[in-house]
Structure 1
Amino acid sequence: MPAPVPAPVAERSPRRDRDLVRNGLPVEPDTSQPLPKRLLRTPLAWLTFLLLVGYAVCLVLLYRQVVPDQQVPGGVLPGLGREAVPIAARYALVTAVPLSLLFLWADRFRPQRFWVWLMTFGWGACVATYVAAQINTWAASHLSIIGDGDPATGARAAIFVAPFVEEAAKATVLFWLAILMRYAWVSRLSGIVLAGLSGAAFAFVENILYYGRAYRYAARTIGAVSPEQALHQVFVLRGLLTFFGHPLFTSMTGIGLAVGMRSKSKTVRVVAPLAGFCCAALLHMAFNTAASLLSGRQQLLVFLFVAVPLVLGFVGFVVRQLLLQGRLVRTRLGDYVRVGWLEPGDPVPLSRLRTRLRALWHALFRGPATFLATIRLQRAVTELAYLRDSMDRGLVDATGHRRERVLLARTRTVRPLAVVEPVGAADYPWKRLRRRRTAEVAGYAPPAFPGPAGLGGSFPAVPPSAAAPLGQTATRYSEVDPTWKPPGQQ
């Protein structure tokens, strides 16, 4: 006899809500209030609005700084030009879109909410690029030894300033998210995905600047290659060969931050994020050093024997983390199976990404209600597994039992309608139509002598009881009445 699922806590109080917030646990919204009123009282809604305004301001300021020509003492500093920005943006999207989709694909067990992805990408594209541009320009002007014409100024800034400034600018949003929503950082994959999105967004805007400068320089220089050829050369170098740079570097900070947040040790919580940031800055410095001081064959050797193995190792690390997260979810759901709060067959299908995806595919063809129930079931059991892991690690105190009861009640509510383990092929519309037609044909009587019956038959069907027998059984005898006598006899 399975144990009854504990009922969710119905009563609410400011003290209980404070306990949830102190542990980083989400507070269930008050559904009795209208949606606009709930949004106006949500701090994240106001934070999102302020961040979007800040992103727009930074983007406009960066545009005014780099696109139009600037008047400087002694002449005019050419900008990118309005005609070069759309062309460069199209080339930059070729790298940014697939890279961002890959990071979102990796965030599959416990995907973040859309606004988190949007805020992270916007920070890397708008705030990080604007802040890094200001600090790098200021630092480069102070690193000049022989004046404004010092050719080594750019290399010094790229090696000694840009790595620390850019990595700090990209990683700031990670620390903000860790403070605001530490409960959602459930694994190293969480740090990799968010850091990768910030790095991909930063690389997107930076590539626009590099592509636009190459296009504008070729267009204004007599005897140089055509603007399209110059743009294509820079695109091959930055967009195809070294596209992994910024996301890879920032992911080191994300991994260190995730390690610190999933640890109970205060020392690890401080050292791990700092170690991740230092690793990101050192990798960035090594990359810029190779790009600034090496050329030709040397750069090719560094790319083949250093960069490519590093990227392959990073991809292997992500795949291994996916497998480990599936094992963790399966193990923690098994705890609830042993106490009778989940079905014995739930942990395996709900911990395999391929099975979960197939379940969503099957539910999609069973109607919107089944599809939404499947999504809610998968999200509820995944959060339940990570909540149990956090409680086992000591990251969440006894307040987690309240959230646990809410998730178990939600699982019990949506499970009868959801698809847990898909079997066979999905219920496609043409299959339903075929079954309907088969049922209609099956409604006709079976064919009988002397001709076919049903659809297309030339004779109506004859019931088997009224069909004429054939052969020796054709002769029929009437039943004998034992009381019959000739007329007139008594």
Structure 2
Amino acid sequence: MSMHPHQPDSGESGHAGQRASQPGLSPGSQGYFPGQANPSWMGRVEPEYYRPAPGHAGAPLPSVGPALAGGGGPGGGMRSAGLALVVGGAALAFLSLFLVVPFLLANTGVSGFAVGFVVSLIPLTAVLLTVHAIDRWEPEPKRLLFFAFTWGAAVSVAVTLLIQPVFALTFQFSDVADLQTYMATVQAPVVEEFAKSLGLLVLLLLARKHFDGPVDGVVFAFTIAGGFAFTENILYFGRAIAESASPATDLAQIFLLRGVMSPFAHAIFTGTTGLIMGYAARRWHSGASVVAFFVGLLPAMILHNRWNSMGEGFLVEYIVIQVPIFVLAVVGVILLRVAEIRLTRQRLLEYSAAGWFSPAEVELLATPRGRRTALHWAAGYNRRPQMKSFLHAATQLAFIRQRILSGRDIGLHQAEEQHQLHRIVSLRAAVAG
């Protein structure tokens, strides 16, 4: 299959192409800032950072797919999260188990631990499937998601156990009536959210190229929180087995509360921190990341406190307060995904204006319906894996461009952009056959 040389789309991409071809324009010149450079509230670009996409020099690119000029190829992706992060995280998680596992066994016994572990897999599966759904558009590296989960399930729990006794000493200075209430409503929100979100700060500082914005912040936060809730559920479910005269009844009651009514509680708490840190990641520098970490802790701690403070009127507060918070979180995630899709489409249109894609291709590469069409077409030629790789590479390219336009490590990302553009050409050939 073949196609004519790419022509800029009418409207925005055409303007971008005209500006890209004008001589004498330099970054910072506002004469070539497209009106649609900011298609949504996510990842806004200032005129002084805007620059046209590099032009495609060479023969017309072959068209593949149903009006699609795209290609597939091996995954690869960005490798910025170094071996030190993965190995260091694994080592921390391993060491944490020497504190966490004995603590769990002491409180649940062997049989309680075993039952709690198995039952805790149910709410964990719900959280991880949600993470997968949110992360499908621009998937994070599996090694970083593994780091996030192990941080939540082991490291953050160990940090909580270490700080908890020290924090309990502050009870004498509080106005809370009893220690148990104080630990639930003050200590747990402060210490647990700090311990969980510390993993987000590590990811943002050491794997910053993969921490692109609020969607990534939510994905990493949900994964960390899912790990933490998994370990905490083992404790609660295991205690129901070990300490109750009617373990089956108590386990069912606790599972209803934690596994059915609130499997996403920790995810929503920590998700607010990830959301705020994700916004800070758009304009990268270490100071902003640390400030965002502390600012993001505040809503997480408040939400956590409100949940743990529900008492005799639990059911009413759950319906009136917690259910609307959950609905708001769902709506927020949907809006984030919509904004992410719009941003991807606009950045690929800018590459289209430079000759790398046709406007029709962009609609297939940067819209959910277009992607389904492209994958269905590729499946008919036994090239679905190659097409999936190409779609992933095109999305990565759009986000690389977003980092360049946000003024973040411009030279580094421009070199990565050139590498990714060469990958796009080879991946295209793999799909074209």
Alignment partners' CA distance in 2, 1:407 and 1:2: 19
**Unmatched tracts of structure 2, length 5 or more:** 8-54, 59-75
State the superposition RMSD in angstroms.
2.8
Name the SS of the counterpart of 2:110 in structure 1: coil
User: Which of 425, 428, 433 pairs up with 1:412?
Assistant: 425
Residue 64 of structure 1 aligns with an amino acid whose one-letter code is: P
Q: Which runs of structure 1 show a deviation greater than 6 angstroms over 4 or more consecutive aligned residues?
A: 26-29, 264-267
Residue 127 of structure 1 aligns with an amino acid whose one-letter code is: V
Alignment partners' CA distance in 2, 1:89 and 1:124: 15
Name the SS of the counterpart of 1:242 in structure 2: coil
Alpha-carbon offset, residue 212 of structure 1: 1.1
Alpha-carbon offset, residue 405 of structure 1: 1.9
Alignment partners' CA distance in 1, 2:415 and 2:95: 42
Residue 58 of structure 1 aligns with an amino acid whose one-letter code is: S
> What residue number does 1:385 align with?
398
Alignment partners' CA distance in 1, 2:197 and 2:160: 12
Change (3 A) 1:183 1:91: same
1:210 is the counterpart of 2:243: no
> What residue number does 2:272 align with?
252
Alignment partners' CA distance in 2, 1:337 and 1:388: 13
Residue 136 of structure 1 aligns with an amino acid whose one-letter code is: Q
Name the SS of the counterpart of 1:417 in structure 2: helix
Q: Structure 1, residues 139-186: CA drift from partner, whole Å, max 9, x if none? A: 3366369xxxx9821111111211111011111111111111212222
Which protein has the bigger helix share? 2
> What residue number does 1:230 align with?
250
Alignment partners' CA distance in 2, 1:143 and 1:234: 27
User: Which of 396, 417, 421 pairs up with 2:409?
Assistant: 396
Alignment partners' CA distance in 2, 1:121 and 1:93: 13
> What residue number does 1:239 align with?
259
Alpha-carbon offset, residue 364 of structure 1: 4.5
The answer as to whether partners of 2:121 and 2:230 remain within 8 angstroms in 1 is yes
Counting only pairs closer than 5 Å after superposition, residues 9-28 of structure 1 correspond to structure 2 as: none
> What residue number does 2:309 align with?
289
Alignment partners' CA distance in 1, 2:237 and 2:166: 22
> What residue number does 1:188 align with?
214
Alignment partners' CA distance in 1, 2:112 and 2:197: 29
Alpha-carbon offset, residue 399 of structure 1: 4.1
Alignment partners' CA distance in 2, 1:127 and 1:389: 33
The answer as to whether partners of 1:203 and 1:246 remain within 8 angstroms in 2 is yes
The answer as to whether partners of 2:134 and 2:219 remain within 8 angstroms in 1 is yes
Counting only pairs closer than 5 Å after superposition, residues 58-457 of structure 1 correspond to structure 2 as: 58-68=96-106, 79-140=107-168, 143=171, 152-218=178-244, 224=245, 226-263=246-283, 271-290=291-310, 294-295=311-312, 298-364=313-379, 366-367=381-382, 370-418=383-431
Q: Structure 1, residues 293-346: CA drift from partner, whole Å, max 9, x if none? A: x21xx2111111110011101100111111111111111111111122222212
Q: Structure 1, residues 65-98: CA drift from partner, whole Å, max 9, x if none? A: 3314xxxxxxxxxx31101111111211110012
Name the SS of the counterpart of 2:302 in structure 1: helix
> What residue number does 1:221 align with?
none
Alpha-carbon offset, residue 227 of structure 1: 1.0
TM-score calculated relative to the size of structure 1: 0.68
Residue 344 of structure 2 aligns with an amino acid whose one-letter code is: V
The answer as to whether partners of 2:201 and 2:293 remain within 8 angstroms in 1 is no
Change (3 A) 1:232 1:138: farther
User: Which of 86, 89, 101 pairs up with 1:48?
Assistant: 86
Change (3 A) 1:153 1:419: farther
Alignment partners' CA distance in 2, 1:274 and 1:379: 33
Residue 415 of structure 1 aligns with an amino acid whose one-letter code is: R
Residue 188 of structure 1 aligns with an amino acid whose one-letter code is: P
The answer as to whether partners of 1:260 and 1:273 remain within 8 angstroms in 2 is no
Residue 174 of structure 1 aligns with an amino acid whose one-letter code is: L
Moved more, 319-328 or 273-282: 273-282
TM-score calculated relative to the size of structure 2: 0.77
Alignment partners' CA distance in 2, 1:63 and 1:314: 32
Alpha-carbon offset, residue 233 of structure 1: 0.8
Moved more, 353-362 or 112-121: 353-362
**Unmatched tracts of structure 1, length 5 or more:** 8-25, 30-41, 69-78, 219-223, 421-490
Change (3 A) 1:205 1:354: farther
Q: Structure 1, residues 4-35: CA drift from partner, whole Å, max 9, x if none? A: 7259xxxxxxxxxxxxxxxxxx9988xxxxxx
Alpha-carbon offset, residue 246 of structure 1: 0.6
